[in-house]
Amino acid sequence: MDERAMPRRRIRTGLFFIASLLCLMAGESSNDLRAEDGHASEAREGNIHQGPCTRMINGTQVTLEIQPRPVKAMEDLTFTVTFSGMEPAAAPYVDLGMPGMNMGPNRVQLRHTGPGRYEGPGIIVRCPTGSRTWDARVTVPGAGEAAFVFDVMD
Amino acid sequence: MFSMSWTESLYLVFLTTGFAVGFGHCLGMCGPIVVSLSLNMKERPLLVPHLLYNAGRVTTYGILGGIMGLTGSFTAVAARIAGLQKGIMIFSGVVIMAMALAMSGWVRLGSIFADDSLPQGVVSGGFRRLAASKSRFAYYPLGLLLGLLPCGPVYTALIAAARAGMDAGAAASGFFQGLGLMLAFGLGTVPALVLVGRLAGVGWLKSRALIYKASAVLMFGVGVYFVIRGIRY
């Protein structure tokens, strides 16, 4: 056997098994994270399917409402963000993502529709793994952000 | 001085998004498919079939992007192709299971895509035609088909393509805008999947029988998972 070929073969064998392990771990870890957030979402966020949910950004109350309800994937949705006691210096926006899973950038641009009120269209996509937990993150440039975690309906 | 227009920067955003999603998402979700393709190729060269598979996948993304850009509506198009995607997810699971059986040697199916022996009476006519082609170019139509698999990040990119098409004004420019953006996104995802496909090639190993048998079991499990997910999608 060619002595010089051995280290190369070992490296390639190692790379193959590392790649296989990474594939498996990527799938497993994302499943774990989704499960944890899924269990915690009800307690932390209230129920986005029944009405607006409220969080705080720097002492200001931020309310997120998604319509139509119940909130379903692959439907045209309207996101409404309302601030009480604050008019943001810059237009806020909502980033949609899945906890522990990179679904690509999905930003809902909001436009000013009244005092402390912003509205914009968005779509929550369906994940073929069956996971339904989503994170709608409201960001106010320069002020902070608030996360709303919930499960979409089938 | 070099300056980038809004449209050019949007293409760059889609390309880099595809690249990031490729290494962050595709490895976990589409990794099993490309690993299955590599293992099924056994000792044959891997690069060209993988490039052809990815070219087919990216072509489908581009066509979908063009349609989204033309219509300016993600949900309308997505609703129309949902049934087709469900069928393709089930089909891909069956393909992976068939490849696993072919590779294991436990069931006499031959190799599905490019081997000398043809499957007899167990798999469908579609599989037999693929097997009969004896060509690495069979991976391009396979990529075209599997490019329709339901995928979260592809949906997200298609939403942006539909919006860009809506902003384009004219239908034709919307089509080409959506087409170009999704081609950029798809190209970004190629490096990760080609890399995994290449790393999964074990044709260089001296003793491969055990690895093929173990991989066949894993592949069959992945195929079952795809079929179940497809039925429940």
Per-domain residue ranges of chain A: 5-35+45-151
Could you identify the residue written with the tokens 């299971």? B97
* pLDDT score, position B147: 92
Amino acid identity, position A59: G
* pLDDT score, position A59: 86
CB contact under 8 Å between B156 and A74, yes or no, is no
pLDDT in tens, B165-193: 988 889 899 999 999 999 999 999 999 99
Residue A43: strand, helix, or coil = helix
Amino acid identity, position A70: P
pLDDT at A32 over 70: no
Quick check: B157 and B185 in contact, CB under 8 A?
A: yes
Q: What is the DSSP letter of B208?
A: -
pLDDT at A43 over 60: no
d(CA A36, CA B44): 43
- On the 0-12 / 13-18 / 19+ scale of CB atoms within 10 A, B4 is exposed
d(CA A46, CA B154): 30
User: B11 is written with which tokens?
Assistant: 């293409």
Amino acid identity, position B106: W
CATH code for the part of the protein at A5-35+45-151: 2.60.40.1930
Q: What are phi and psi of A94, to 5 degrees?
A: -120, 125
pLDDT at A16 over 60: no
d(CA B118, CA B130): 10
Q: Please, which residues 143-172 of chain B have a Cβ atom closer than 8 Å to chain A?
A: 149-153, 155-157, 159-160
Testing the interface with B: which of A16, A24, A94, A127 to mutate, by most B Cβ within 10 A? A16
CA angle A33, A36, A40 (to 5 degrees): 140
Interface confidence (ipTM) of the complex: 0.76
> Chain A contact for B182, CB < 8 A?
no
CB contact under 8 Å between A125 and B75, yes or no, is no
Sheet with A117-122, strands from edge to edge, namely A53-57, A60-67, A77-84, A117-122, A111-114
Chunk chain B into consecutive blocks of 10 residues (it has 233) and report each block's average pLDDT, rounded to whole numbers.
Answer: 64 93 82 79 79 95 96 93 91 84 67 46 49 66 90 94 90 94 96 87 62 79 89 84
pLDDT mean over A82-98: 91
